[in-house]
Amino acid sequence: MVNTAVTLCGIRLDNPIIPASGTFGYGYEFAQLYDINMLGTFSFKGTTRQPRFGNPTPRIAEYAGGLLNAVGLQNPGADAVIAEELPRLRQVFHKPVMANVSGFSVEEYAETCALLAAQEQVGWLEVNISCPNVHGGGAAFGADPKAAAEVTRAVRAVTDKPLILKLSPTAADIAAVARACQDAGADGVSLINTLPGMRIDLKRRAPLLANGTGGMSGPAMLPLAVRMVYQVYQAVEIPIVGMGGVSRAEDVLELMLAGATAVGVGAANLVEPYACRNIIETLPDVMLRYGIHDLNDIIGGAHHG
């Protein structure tokens, strides 16, 4: 027998697996494929105060190590999420969900977080200050410790629910941003968001994505995520949700050894719809293969010695 349960900001997760925001919608498509109650939880589609269509298409491109997306925070807006998506989710998911929130101003972040935090189903708020695909918001807040702290304080003021700030790999010093979030009252940080990239269409001699750039995700991101989780773990005391290129149970253990308490799975859900179920089902055997009986014993384990 092994123990896969961990505690994330005071809430128990049966296992550390959390489908990452933007790859799992509001849960419903995947609930038609498998019982999503087997997940630790999931982080729902990045939600803004107002509905957003997002960027023009094409929004998706491929590279050898994964994909680029420039969706641009398409979502129905906080009111519709509360009125339509959460009641529908309640039918198929009986655990606290992680509400992912984006915004274009500090006030908008606070207002959207207050609305979603008031929903009983919402366990954690994951505040995205690192979306690479929108202008004048998102990553602008995550690039700088002062701006990140400002968003954290504003959201902290409207909720007592666990508050997790989602950080960008583009920050000059991600550990400094994480520390600023912690000092401003964050209960946790999640990292990494996608890394801005570009592909160029040889026939058209123009960027493949209508937006020009898009966030890179997929297996190529794993070493970057491991390095950044490792660095942030040394800089903060609050728990880390590690993510970036995870596609199998071994990747989960690697990020936990670097310092993650829980692990997000993103791009893998899109190419392998059962990716999270497969990871959860294989995790105990993979743990035993490496002599691990309790996941809690390995969090930050690579820092010893």
Partner 1 sequence: MKQTTFTIAQNSPLAEGIYRLHLQGDTTAITAPGQFVNLKLEGFYLRRPISVCDWADGELTLLYKVLGRGTEAMTRLPAGTRLDVLTGLGNGYDMTLSGDRPLLVGGGVGIPPLYGLAKRLRAQGKAVQAVLGFNSASDLFLLEDFRALQIEPVVTTADGSAGLRGLVTDGMAAAGPYSYLYTCGPEAMLRAVWQHCGTSGQFSFEERMGCGFGACMGCSCRTKYGTKRICKDGPVLQKEEILW
Contact positions toward partner 1, by CB under 8 A?
22-25, 29-30, 32-33, 45, 53-54, 57-67, 69, 71, 74, 218-219, 267, 269-271, 273-274
Q: How many CA atoms lie within 13 A of 15 on its CB side?
A: 24
| Cα maximum dimension of the chain | 57
Minimum CB distance to partner 1, residue 33 (Å): 7
Q: Which is nearer to partner 1, 74 or 119 (CB)?
A: 74
Residue 224, sorted as left (phi over 0), alpha (psi -120 to 50) or beta, turns out to be alpha
Q: Which is nearer to partner 1, 182 or 269 (CB)?
A: 269
Catalytic residue among 9, 113, 131, 181: 131
Minimum CB distance to partner 1, residue 176 (Å): 32
Q: Estimate the crossing angle of helix 275-289 against helix 249-258, to 10 degrees.
A: 70
What DSSP letter does each residue of 226-276 carry, written as one string? HHHHHHHHHH-SS-EEEESS--SHHHHHHHHHHT-SEEEE-THHHHSTTHH
Q: Coil, strand, or helix at residue 67?
A: strand
Identify whether 113 is a catalytic site residue: no
Q: Residue 170 and residue 165: Cα distance in Å, rounded?
A: 15
Q: Which is nearer to partner 1, 29 or 35 (CB)?
A: 29
* Beta bridge partners of residue 195, listed in sequence order: 216
Minimum CB distance to partner 1, residue 60 (Å): 4
Q: Which is nearer to partner 1, 203 or 304 (CB)?
A: 203
* Tokens representing residue 74 in the block: 């398409």
Tell me the residue type at 209.
Answer: L
Minimum CB distance to partner 1, residue 66 (Å): 5
Minimum CB distance to partner 1, residue 21 (Å): 11
Minimum CB distance to partner 1, residue 67 (Å): 6
Long-range contacts of 173-178 (CB under 8 A, 24+ apart): 173/145, 174/228, 174/231, 174/232, 175/231, 175/232, 175/234, 175/235, 175/236, 176/145, 176/235, 177/142, 177/143, 177/144, 177/145, 177/148, 178/232, 178/235, 178/236, 178/240
Q: Which is nearer to partner 1, 30 or 233 (CB)?
A: 30
Q: Which is nearer to partner 1, 4 or 100 (CB)?
A: 100
Question: Pairing between strand 188-191 and 240-243?
Answer: parallel
Please list the active-site residues: 131
